[in-house]
Amino acid sequence: MYEPTVARLTYRALLGRRRAAILFVLPALLIAISAAVRLLTGADDQIASDVLGGFAIATMVPLIGVIAGTGAIGPEIDDGSIVYLLAKPVKRSTIIFTKLIVAIAVTMAFSAIPTFVAGLILNGNGGQIAVAYTVAALVASIAYSAIFLLLGTVSRHAVVFGLVYALVWETLFGSLVPGARTLSVQQWALSLAERIGENGTITSDVALPTATILLALVTVAATWYAGQKLRTLKLAGEE
């Protein structure tokens, strides 16, 4: 189910000079904001939770997921180079699974690690806030990678749709509209952070058992459907 050659090519595409520079911007901004907040307000659990929840989980993680998830396959489909990969004796489900693993690894590296560092800067992991939000970032990275990889497989406008989802649904509706929160990856991840964090500084509108089931269901369904769509993608010579 994992093809090292496909993984190497995908890592190279995602961590190329231009895309890597984009990936570094949001983590750097989070750490800079955290340092500034710590200097201005000192160590405060609630402020730390607000910064990590409002910027790291609500904005940074989904946007990095968009870049990594859609970038793992979208450009290859857009420029037609995917036909060379599909011509190889590798199962298309293996291609999707391998690209998902790479997208997850990249999203985790560029979101979870900066989230933990920012948490340490903000309040030194007081109330387990840094750890809680780091775990939330790790869990959310899996679901976002699967969702945006699927978008990259089914649409040539995956980045646009991904940005709309990340900025409008997750950041706006997922944070403000009560009914939409149940269908928000952000809230599912926060339910786990709520269980880990102390002092009631982290809250989620979704119960942990429900969040766990939804996270698993969305990840598996998105990965399976992406594999199905790739199977129906015809090579140029087959048309």
Higher pLDDT, 40 or 89: 40
pLDDT at 109: 96
pLDDT bracket for residue 234 (50, 70, 90): low
How many Cα atoms within 13 Å fall on the side-chain side of residue 183? Answer: 8
The pLDDT tens digits of the residues spanning 12-68 come to 889 887 778 889 999 999 999 999 999 999 889 999 999 999 899 999 999 999 999
Question: If we measure between CA atoms, which residue out of 118, 23, 19 comes closest to residue 63?
Answer: 23
- Per the prediction, the chain carries an average pLDDT of 89
C-beta separation of 152 from 212 below 8 A: no
State the Rg of the chain over Cα: 18
Higher pLDDT, 67 or 166: 67
pLDDT of residue 156: 83
Output the six-digit token pair for 218.
Answer: 């969305």
Full DSSP string of 145-193: HHHHHHHHHH-TTHHHHHHHIIIIIIIIIHHH-HHHHTT-HHHHHHHHH
pLDDT in tens, 178-216: 677 788 899 999 999 999 998 788 988 899 999 999 999
pTM of the model: 0.92
Phi, psi of 157 (to 5 degrees): -110, 35
Q: What is the pLDDT of residue 56?
A: 94
List, for residues 104-120, the tens digit of each pLDDT value: 999 999 999 999 999 99
Residue 78 has pLDDT above 60, yes or no: yes
Q: Please state, as a whole number, how many other Cβ atoms lie within 10 Å of the Cβ of residue 187.
A: 25
* pLDDT class of 238 with cuts at 50, 70, 90: very low
Give the model's pLDDT for residue 215: 96
* pLDDT (0 to 100) of residue 236: 42
Q: Which two tokens stand for residue 158?
A: 């995956």
Mean pLDDT over 211-224 rounds to 96
Tokens encoding 25: 């911007």
pLDDT for the residue 100? 96
Q: DSSP per residue over 180-225, as a string?
A: HHTT-HHHHHHHHHHHH-STT----SS-HHHHHHHHHHHHHHHHHH
Residue 101 has pLDDT above 90, yes or no: yes
